[in-house]
Structure 1
Amino acid sequence: MESKAICLGFLPPRLGFSSPHLLSRSPGSSTFATRQKFDSRQTLLWNKPQLSRGRVVCSSSNSESKPETNHSSKSNYARAELFRGKSGSVSFNGLTHQLVEESKLVSAPFQEEKGSFLWVLAPVVLISSLILPQFFLSGAIEASFKNDTVAEIVTSFCFETVFYAGLAIFLSVTDRVQRPYLDFSSKRWGLITGLRGYLTSAFLTMGLKVVVPVFAVYMTWPALGIDALIAVLPFLVGCAVQRVFEARLERRGSSCWPIVPIVFEVYRLYQVTRAATFVQRLMFMMKDAATTAEITERGVALVGLVVTLQFLAVMCLWSFITFLMRLFPSRPVEMTSPLSELLNLDLSDTKKIIAEYIWIGGSGMDIRSKARTLPGPVSDPTKLPKWNYDGSSTDQAAGDDSEVILYPQAIFKDPFRKGNNILVMCDAYTPAGDPIPTNNRNKAVKIFDHPNVKAEEPWFGIEQEYTLLKKDVKWPLGWPLGGFPGPQGPYYCAVGADKAFGRDIVDAHYKACLYSGLSIGGANGEVMPGQWEFQISPTVGIGAGDQLWVARYILERITEICGVIVSFDPKPIQGDWNGAAAHTNFSTKSMRKDGGLDLIKEAIKKLEVKHKQHIAAYGEGNERRLTGKHETADINTFSWGVANRGASVRVGRDTEKEGKGYFEDRRPSSNMDPYLVTSMIAETTIL
């Protein structure tokens, strides 16, 4: 996927072959050194396994510092690492590359200016090996050998040798260029028809290409002798040489495998044409000869040889077309998991279901889950059994008393297993029944169960923003390798391959949430490229928190399948780029009635009084986002306004016009705990 270095620019490629073997490849060792913070004078070393001595060196263009040797890296499950350094340079054998991850094939971002001379050199060598011998060797050979038969033998030998040498160089250079992009083989590609049909066609045509010319030589030998063999021998040798090349490429795992059949089928047409010219010359030599039985027999044999060559030309076209049918409409067969049949097994006969218990880990943002079998469908969370887990492994309990109890609280349909299978949102308690310290849901329930809060029926609509990151380097999806896209502006709610990155993930998440029964209200691209948003529609009380956590879980699962990271960091990229928030829209029954605008203003005043307490609970790292820029208010100053997205709290124009409605608290960050945020807003404004 889809790409891996946080720097800018690429060193020019070097064409060098460290091994005399064709298409040689030596896997590099896998090392990765990084820091969460680095400036323009630091260096990233990166060796990728199974790629030819793949090393990426990232540094500023004028950096004189030595490579960073500290191999310790901080892993953060839910946040992107921060990159504050200036643009640098990257080299991966002078080329970009893209990984094949988790059986998925993704095209690499193509760098037009990288390795351009290699793309020119390889075809020039191949074409030259085909054309130049005709200009420089044909005349010399004909002048040296007066006998036409001997001249044809020497010419064929020289032409074939030069061409196969040129082809070997062509494949070596092409493999050198392609390997950093994608390493794949013919086994990974599907067919427009079944495999049996293609193999039948391939074996049939190859068999006919060998049997027919051998049979033709056998039949015409009495009349033509060595001339018959000279006409078809290059064709037969070409079939054998093709197999040698294909075997070599397969052993090397080269990405050049589609080139060989195409080149050889085209070259065989040239061989047939050259053989036909030789036969035509033999016919021309008989033009003035007296008609005898021997001459007649020889003429018939030559006509038979012409028919044989025509048949071989048809076989070449047949092979060429069937291979193109195989190659171009194909899809990566690995996109369909070999386990798909098992994953889609119908469990209805067993009467059992699978329940995925979901809870929040010790960091407050790490979503955990595990599955259990239940005897039958369940729709009421109170009917579900409690469960337990090892709290010492989630930083929620000590090792000598590690058991934490899961209490099922909400049920949703499982979009991954489908059927009657369910997702279960849980909160965590000690064996004694006390909520563990990180159980913010229990605290929120107490507030939402307060009679005054219940009477107001608080609605919460949450706008969850997030950033999609490339897996290995934690750099936003769609951003150039090691660089930055164009300035913000074209990306918000945009369409187009150069502006919207990861839409399939967004749509899959949208539909999965609808299937699960979540009140997802919409989705859209955000201001920063690679950043998206989905909304949980107005939901009463504690339900908003349950739904947002389950929606996050579904998003994490989908990005897991796609080999992409979802980041809820409030400011994943420093600089002139928008952060990520979880704007929380709020209203009460009184606010939604006539005259509710006055109550909204009173609620905003209450929020201002407790601004610091709310900021402290509105998400880790929020100070990096709330700077007063990029549609945010300053973290230290509370403000509000109508239609003002640079304020702490925004009141919509419709609310102002109608005198009732809701307001939007724009302070919560994308990594906030919705249980904590919604309950604090309700407590501050109602109680």
Structure 2
Amino acid sequence: MSLYFSHTSESAATFADSLRRKGIEYVRFELPDLAGLSRGKTVPIDHVASYTRNGLNLYGGTVTLDTSSNPIPGTGYNEDINFADCLMVPDPETVSDVPWMAKTARVICDTKWYDGSPQMAAPRTVLKAMLAKAAERGFGVKMGHEFEFYVVDLETRQPLYAGAPIFVTAVTHRHPVLDKLMRVLKDSGVDMITANGEFGPGQWELNFAALDGIAAADRAFVFKNTVKEYLRTEGLLATFMTKPYAHLSGSCSHFHLSLYDLETGKNLFLDEADPDGMSALMKSFIQGILDHAPAAQAIWNPTPNCYRRIRPGTFAPSNVSWGVEDRSASVRIKASKDKRQHLEVRVPSALSNPYLTAASTLAAGLLGVEQQAVLTPQRNGLKEADSSFKKLPTEIHEALAALRADNELTEMLGEAFMKVYTIVKTAEINRLRDEIPAAETAEYFDLY
């Protein structure tokens, strides 16, 4: 798998002409940063061919900015190289419309340095590298992301309705913007399959179909950024913040995955002779995830706020466990016993980066396959209620320590990415730790 597209003058002109024939006048060159936020530049159609052929210059540290857009020292992407530019290289297979903007399209880009080498810490490149490792072993990867998010009034920051009317159809469609959003997503190239209200007031979950390889994460990237950007045009704010309200449901990103044979297309997670349809390969893959879950926690839950979601009785798993159709387990087996057989990792938060969730899960699973890991026996009962399971880290600094200590997983994910990720996340933790929370001021300032 190529880590970025290489364009000739002819292919660049063909790409631009295909957009021009569709009536496109502006193209948004976009990339996912470390947090999965869309960053980039907008290009008039007359300049698309030249930027496609030569690359579009962009500050080289863009992919490594922290969540407050700070360039963090020591990553190798900033002051170390005099804040040099990189080049954005568009992937023509990712073009989609931006329906709420006139005659505008987006294209997702990879990034490379001026010497032609890829930015190995860029999230999309990290996932491409992992998919290439899977392909070397003959595995194709089918993936799907589910995101929960709150929709609130832009001015008041209050949810659109009260209570916890999960799956109540009338409440779900009480605000007409949900119906508009579903149509906008479809027009953006997102294959919507279900929409429903979640447990929190104004909390929604809109699901889209699984796809093969990088296309799955690309769709998740478009989904998240479309939801946020479009709803603001309707006077609303969508937030994927994991725990925006102290006493309300948190927002997650359940991640679904299966492996298939690249030659035959056969689902390699399926064994029809097994009571739960689980192949030996699937079992080893699951054990790999479990073995490296404490380290992956730092990627699945990438901010301090994410850990406020992990509370008992909230369907936010806090231990290292698996179970067939068990919503309380970290890894839930979707035991359809047919070609749909797959696993679901229920730990990641809505604030996670879809490229990095996929890359870390795939890396852990492949390690289990390589080592022919033996799956620990399934235990009866709700896994979340079983105190004997090993606990996942419940604070981000603990998760980062586990990630640094997991030599096998860090080697799989790559030295360049690991250096950037751990340095940036540590800087974020330290910066936020120095802030005084409003709750502390309310608790102590006046009375004491």
Q: Structure 2 length normalisation: TM-score?
A: 0.63
Q: Output the CA distance in 2 between the equivalents of 1:350 and 1:547.
A: 21
- 5+ residue gaps in structure 2? 1-18, 63-68, 72-76, 261-267, 368-448
Matched residue SS, 2:29: strand
Q: Output the CA distance in 1 between the equivalents of 2:46 and 2:83.
A: 30
Amino acid at match of 2:127: A
Q: Output the CA distance in 1 between the equivalents of 2:21 and 2:131.
A: 42
2:38 paired with 1:357: no
Contact 1:469 1:475 in 2 (8 A): yes
Alpha-carbon shift at residue 471 of structure 1 (Å): 2.1
Tell me what 2:290 maps to. 608
Alpha-carbon shift at residue 377 of structure 1 (Å): 9.3
2:118 paired with 1:446: no
Tell me what 1:524 maps to. 196
Tell me what 1:505 maps to. 177
The verdict on how the C-alpha distance between 1:356 and 1:384 changes in structure 2, with shifts beyond 3 A counting, is farther
Q: Output the CA distance in 2 between the equivalents of 1:382 and 1:533.
A: 37
Aligned sequence identity (%): 21
Amino acid at match of 2:58: Y
The verdict on how the C-alpha distance between 1:355 and 1:507 changes in structure 2, with shifts beyond 3 A counting, is same
Contact 1:519 1:539 in 2 (8 A): no
- 5+ residue gaps in structure 1? 1-346, 479-484
Alpha-carbon shift at residue 522 of structure 1 (Å): 2.4
Tell me what 1:412 maps to. 96
- Give the number of aligned pairs: 321
Per-residue deviation, residues 573-606 of structure 1 (Å, max 9, x unmatched):
112x221111011111201464551333332211
Query: What do you get for the CA RMSD once the two structures are aligned?
Result: 3.2
Q: Output the CA distance in 1 between the equivalents of 2:311 and 2:325.
A: 19
Alpha-carbon shift at residue 438 of structure 1 (Å): 5.1
Matched residue SS, 2:209: strand
Amino acid at match of 2:97: K
Contact 1:452 1:686 in 2 (8 A): no
The verdict on how the C-alpha distance between 1:559 and 1:437 changes in structure 2, with shifts beyond 3 A counting, is farther
Contact 1:593 1:661 in 2 (8 A): no
Alpha-carbon shift at residue 566 of structure 1 (Å): 1.3
Q: Output the CA distance in 1 between the equivalents of 2:95 and 2:21.
A: 23
Alignment of 1:69-468 (within 5 A): 353-361=25-33, 364-375=35-46, 386-390=55-59, 394-396=69-71, 398=78, 401-409=83-91, 410-417=94-101, 421-436=104-119, 439-450=122-133, 452=135, 455-468=138-151
Amino acid at match of 1:618: W
2:239 paired with 1:567: yes
Contact 2:40 2:58 in 1 (8 A): no
Tell me what 1:623 maps to. 307
Matched residue SS, 1:425: strand
Q: Output the CA distance in 2 between the equivalents of 1:600 and 1:350.
A: 44
2:352 paired with 1:680: no
Matched residue SS, 2:210: strand
Amino acid at match of 2:269: M
Q: Output the CA distance in 2 between the equivalents of 1:404 and 1:563.
A: 35
Matched residue SS, 2:278: helix
Amino acid at match of 1:649: V
Q: Output the CA distance in 2 between the equivalents of 1:453 and 1:584.
A: 23
Per-residue deviation, residues 148-168 of structure 1 (Å, max 9, x unmatched):
xxxxxxxxxxxxxxxxxxxxx
Alpha-carbon shift at residue 645 of structure 1 (Å): 1.1
Q: Which has the larger radius of gyration?
A: 1
Alpha-carbon shift at residue 387 of structure 1 (Å): 1.1
Q: Output the CA distance in 1 between the equivalents of 2:58 and 2:354.
A: 23
Q: Output the CA distance in 1 between the equivalents of 2:97 and 2:26.
A: 11
Matched residue SS, 1:579: coil
The verdict on how the C-alpha distance between 1:407 and 1:350 changes in structure 2, with shifts beyond 3 A counting, is closer
Q: Which residue of 540, 553, 558 corresponds with 2:225? A: 553
Q: Output the CA distance in 1 between the equivalents of 2:181 and 2:53.
A: 26
Alpha-carbon shift at residue 414 of structure 1 (Å): 3.0
Q: Which has the higher contact order (CA 8 A, sep 6+)?
A: 2
The verdict on how the C-alpha distance between 1:660 and 1:474 changes in structure 2, with shifts beyond 3 A counting, is closer
Q: Output the CA distance in 1 between the equivalents of 2:160 and 2:122.
A: 33
Contact 1:468 1:502 in 2 (8 A): no
Tell me what 2:438 maps to. none
The verdict on how the C-alpha distance between 1:665 and 1:429 changes in structure 2, with shifts beyond 3 A counting, is same
Tell me what 2:153 maps to. 470
Alpha-carbon shift at residue 476 of structure 1 (Å): 2.4
Tell me what 1:597 maps to. 278
Matched residue SS, 2:254: strand
Matched residue SS, 1:457: strand
Matched residue SS, 1:407: strand
The verdict on how the C-alpha distance between 1:441 and 1:555 changes in structure 2, with shifts beyond 3 A counting, is same
Matched residue SS, 1:588: strand
2:311 paired with 1:639: no
Alpha-carbon shift at residue 460 of structure 1 (Å): 0.6
Amino acid at match of 1:672: S
Q: Output the CA distance in 2 between the equivalents of 1:603 and 1:351.
A: 46
Contact 2:112 2:119 in 1 (8 A): yes
The verdict on how the C-alpha distance between 1:402 and 1:493 changes in structure 2, with shifts beyond 3 A counting, is farther
Q: Output the CA distance in 2 between the equivalents of 1:686 and 1:512.
A: 36
